[in-house]
Copies of this chain bind each other. A is one copy, B any other.
Amino acid sequence: MQTINIESKLSLFSDYWNPRIVGELNGQHVKLVKLKGEFVWHHHDHEDELFLVVKGVLKMEFRDRTEIIHQGEMIIVPKGVEHRPVGDEEVHVMLFEPATTLNTGNVKNERTKETLQQI
């Protein structure tokens, strides 16, 4: 039970699309991730996901539109909704989601992270 500094945690890693766990509560994980480029289209069968932009600009693509999410803004993607996160430039994002959430959702490929590091 200690104070967690988001910027300090983000300074501990530099790779993209590899979320780190920085907190756990009520079966949910708080994660930090750096994104750049295009991720894979996917959805989560059982988990809603919150994306809070800490730095940069996140483009969240849906099949019918794209949301542009700036620093200090967030979006909740409900379970079942196909989405693809995109960062034209590096984006730092905080995630809130159930501990069961797999980063690539229903898809398994080279970007799937089965286990996440806690920092």
Contacts and interface: CB of A to CB of B under 8 A. Distances in A.
6 contacts: A1-B75, A3-B73, A3-B74, A4-B76, A6-B74, A30-B76
Closest 8 CB pairs of A and B: A25-B48, A5-B73, A25-B76, A26-B48, A3-B73, A4-B74, A3-B69, A23-B76
Nearest to A83: B1
Give how many copies assemble into the complex: 2
Interface of A: 1-7, 23-26, 28, 30, 47-50, 62, 67-70, 72-78, 81, 96-98
A115 to B, nearest CB: 21
A2 B65 CA distance: 11
A3 B39 CA distance: 19
Contacts of A73: 3-6
A3 B49 contact: no
Nearest to A48: B25
A5 B96 contact: no
